[in-house]
Structure 1
Amino acid sequence: MIGTLVFVLAFLAIGLSVVLAAMRSGRPPAGSKTETRATRRAWGVGLGVVIVLLGIAVPAVVLITNGDDHASQGIGGVELTSAQTNGRALFAKNCATCHSLAGSGAVGRVGPDLDTLNGGDLKPAFVLDAIQNGRARGNGQMPADLLFGNEAKDVAEYVSTVAGR
């Protein structure tokens, strides 16, 4: 958001500079004082400095404010632990094609909508059981053992944290 605002303001400043420079060019009205060469040179150098500074400042501000600092934020402003953040990435890779989950922007149609399953109140143990055993004990559409160990636990923690929010 800040990057966009800075970007727009920078282009407004450049546009206004161009308009002002255009208004200053041309013949002066009869009887008015003419600008000296030094004044015109100062305007040109000043305009050049402004453009160069904006060319450096705008990308610098965008790079500074556009970091990975939002990676630990889940839907609704929920702060995610590092395990849950890892679970979000694993969910996107392994589960989002089948399941819907607003926290990941997933809109799968094969498996159940995890935001509404159990009224949106999914316990980590329930999700972990589904990951380890599949549904219908591996004979349903969801196969067993999609993930193992800490990866399965991370996904279970993530889904239980953001489901229904």
Structure 2
Amino acid sequence: MIGTLVFVLAFLAIGLSVVLAAMRSGRPPAGSRPETRGTRRAWGLGIALVVLVVGVGVPLLILVSNGEDHAKQGAGGVDLNASQTTGRQLFAEKCATCHTLAGSNAVGRVGPNLDTLNGGDLKPAFVLDAIEHGRARGAGQMPAGLLYGADAKDVANYVATVAGR
């Protein structure tokens, strides 16, 4: 939202400076002093300064306001910790093609919808067991051992946190 507002204001400032510069050109009114070379130079420098400030300042402001904070925001306004943020990335790589999970914008059709599984109340231990052993103890569609160790725990933590939100 703030990025859009700054973008619009920047182009408004550039447009107004162009209009004002255009209004200053042309024949001077009768009886007025002719415009000096210094005045024209000052106007040119002023417009160049506005364009430079807007051209550098606006992108810089947008970059600052679009920091890494978005990676820590989960579905339903949940703030994710480092483990869950890593779990989100791993889920996107390994699980999103099969499972549906609104927190990751995943719409897989093969595996179950994790937002509705167990009423959306998934426990990390349940998810971790599915990751390590697969479904039907490896004889189902989900194979065993997709992730191991900390990676499996991170994904289980993430899914349990955002499922159903």
- What is the rounded CA distance, in whole Å, between the counterparts of 1:41 and 1:132 in structure 2? 72
CA deviations on 1:92-137 (whole Å, 9 max, x unpaired) are 0000000000000000000011001111011111111111111111
Q: What TM-score does the superposition give when structure 2 sets the normalisation length? A: 0.93
Work out the percentage of aligned pairs sharing the same amino acid.
Answer: 75
Question: Cα deviation per residue 1:30-79 (whole Å; 9 max; x = unaligned)?
Answer: 34443333222221111111111112211221222222122111112101
- Give the Cα separation in 2 of the matches to 1:37 and 1:133: 81
Query: Unaligned 5+ residue runs, structure 2?
Result: none
In structure 1, the residue matched to 2:38 is 38
Q: What is the rounded CA distance, in whole Å, between the counterparts of 2:114 and 2:155 in structure 1?
A: 12
Tell me which residue corresponds to 1:131: 131
Number of the residue aligned with 2:122 = 122
Task: State the shift of 1:3 in Å.
Answer: 2.6
Q: Give the 4+ runs in structure 1 shifted more than 4 A.
A: none
Offset at residue 4 of structure 1 (A): 2.7
Give me the whole-angstrom Cα distance separating, in 2, the residues matched to 1:43 and 1:143: 70
AA in 1 matched with 2:6: V
Note if 1:73 corresponds to 2:73. yes
SS of match in other structure, 1:141: coil
> Which residue in 2 is equivalent to 1:154?
154
Farther-moved stretch of structure 1 (25-34 vs 10-19): 25-34
Provide the aligned C-alpha RMSD in A: 1.4
Greater shift, 94-103 or 42-51, is seen at: 42-51
Question: How many angstroms apart in 2 are the aligned matches of 1:93 and 1:79?
Answer: 21
Match of 1:143 in 2: 143
Aligned to 1:63: 63
* Counterparts of 2:78 and 2:113, CA distance in 1: 20
1:106 aligns with 2:106: yes
> Which segment is superposed worse, 39-48 or 133-142?
39-48
What TM-score do you get using the length of structure 1 for normalisation? 0.93
Distance 1:26 1:82 in 2: 62
Q: Residue type matched to 1:83 in 2?
A: S
CA distance in 2, matches of 1:26, 1:111: 71
